Amino acid sequence: MKKTLAVFLLLLVATMAFGHAGEVHSYMGTVTTMHDDGSFMLKKTDGKTMHAQVAKTTTYLHADGSAANASEMKVGTRVVVKVAKDGKTALSVKMAARKE
C-alpha cells in the first residue's frame, strides 16, 4: 500500500511539475558569437549574455514575419529569441534586417 501511495504521489508531483513547464520567454539582444552547431551567444538588452541553443524545429523569421534562413544570422544581428520549456532552446528567432 505504501509503495502504491508512493507511486501515486510521484505521479501527482510529476504532473504538477509538468504543469508549470512550457512558459515561453522572449529575449531581445545582439548576437555576439555564432557556433558551428547553430547555437549562438546573445548579449541581451539588460547587458547579460545567454547561450541560445537551436533545434531542427527552431524557426527563423525576418522582422516582417517572412521566413528567413539560419545562415542569415551573423555576429552583430539584433534578434528576438523565444525560448520555451528548457529555458535554452530557441523556438523562434526573429532577426532585424541588416543594412549593407
Partner 1 sequence: MRRHWLIVVAIVALILIVASIVFVRMLRYGFSAHDQPTAIETSIARTVRHWAVPADLRDAKNPVPLTAQVLADARAHFADHCAVCHGNDGKGQSGMGRQMYPKTPDMTLAATQSLSDGELFSIIENGVRLTGMPGFGSGTAESAYGSWTLVHFIRHMPKLSAEEMAEMETLNPKSPEEWRQMQEEEAFLEPEEGHHH
3 scored as a contact of partner 1 (CB under 8 A):
no
How far is 49 from 31, CA to CA, in rounded Å?
10
User: Closest distance between partner 1 and the C-beta of residue 81, in Å?
Assistant: 10
Neighbours of 59 (CB within 10 A): 14
Does 50 help bind partner 1 (rule: CB under 8 A)? no
Contact of 84 with 23, CB cutoff 8 Å? yes
Give the footprint of partner 1 on this chain (CB under 8 A).
4, 8, 12, 15-16, 19, 22-23, 26, 28, 45, 59-61, 63, 65-67, 78-80, 92, 94-99
